[in-house]
Amino acid sequence: MLGVIGGSGFYSFFGDDARPLSVDTPYGSPSAPITVGSVGEHEVAFLPRHGVNHEFSPHTVPYRANMWALRSLGVRRVFGPCAVGSLDPALGPGAMVVPDQLLDRTSGRKATYFDSGGIHVDFADPYCPDLRAAAVGQPEVVDGGTMVVIEGPRFSTRAESRWYSSVGFSLINMTGYPEAVLARELEMCYAAIALVTDLDAGVEAGAGVKAVDVFAEFEKNLVPFKNLVRQAIESVPRERSCTHCTPHEGVTLPIDLP
């Protein structure tokens, strides 16, 4: 089974024929009931990151519960579609990007399942190469870039935005961490697929980023964005062969993974 975690504005993925599943975890309930349907040859579990009605802000999303719930259903490969701001004027609204790096600028989020046992995971390359290949193989997709993940829920100041841009980062987001590292701890393949909704505050002169404009831009591009996610899923091999995202070989974990 593959998983899809939908971001802001991406609250559903299937029709009425999908089956809803309520899953509890040691970390509480996930953001919403998980719906299971089919895309091509794959059975797919969908979870809206912020809840069905956007109940959760970026800093309150139950990330640990979300990832644990998906794995407990048998999910081992996850696409994480998300809305992002652009730090690069060449990437305007509507661009679809598959980042290859992230920079964590969050604070206070629970970013691990391993509070004991001295467990460390390889995270030099945070995204699964196999899932990335499936996504970047689609038309008009930008391959690569660093996504800065900020705490939110506020947007960046112009100074912050200019700083991130000046060192070569290309995207900015509020939810890409700890989702990616929790997937790695659970030995789940994970790749983000980003839809640019705006140029960040320091990239162009103007009034800065406004949430209403972000949601409007996402809604305008939602159909092609969902189509991209479906095409990426259909390009994923039926059998998982990735070893990049299995860091615990030879390690005794302090907890049993679901």
pLDDT at 189: 98
| pLDDT classification of 97: cutoffs 50, 70, 90 | very high
Helices (H) and strands (E) in the chain, counts: 6, 11
* Residues contacting residue 182 through CB under 8 Å, at least 6 positions apart: 63, 64, 67, 111, 112, 113
Q: From residue 65, give the alpha-carbon distance in Å to each of 49, 73, 143.
A: 11, 12, 30
| pLDDT classification of 206: cutoffs 50, 70, 90 | low
pLDDT at 244: 95
B/e letters for 7-24, b = 16+ CB within 10 Å, e = fewer, are bbbbbebbeeebeeeebe
- pLDDT surpassing 90 at residue 227: yes
Residues with a known catalytic role: 198, 200
What structural domains and CATH numbers belong to the chain? Answer: 1-233 (3.40.50.1580)
| 175 annotated as belonging to a binding site for a ligand | yes
pLDDT at 205: 56
pLDDT at 215: 76
Per this entry, what is the length of the chain? 258
| 200 annotated as belonging to a binding site for a ligand | yes
- pLDDT surpassing 80 at residue 230: yes
| pTM of the predicted protein model | 0.95
Nearest-angstrom CA–CA distance, 78 and 236: 11
| 100 annotated as belonging to a binding site for a ligand | no
**What distance separates the 2 farthest-apart alpha carbons in the chain?**
54
Of 191, 137, 205, 169, give the one whose Cα is nearest residue 3: 191
| pLDDT classification of 169: cutoffs 50, 70, 90 | very high
The helix/strand/coil state of 103 is strand
CA dihedral sign, ordered 205, 206, 210, 215 = negative
pLDDT at 207: 59
- pLDDT surpassing 80 at residue 203: no
Instruction: Tell me the average pLDDT across 45-56.
Output: 96
DSSP 8-state secondary structure symbol assigned to residue 156: P
| 158 annotated as belonging to a binding site for a ligand | no
Nearest-angstrom CA–CA distance, 169 and 59: 22
Say if residues 35 and 21 touch (Cβ distance below 8 Å): yes
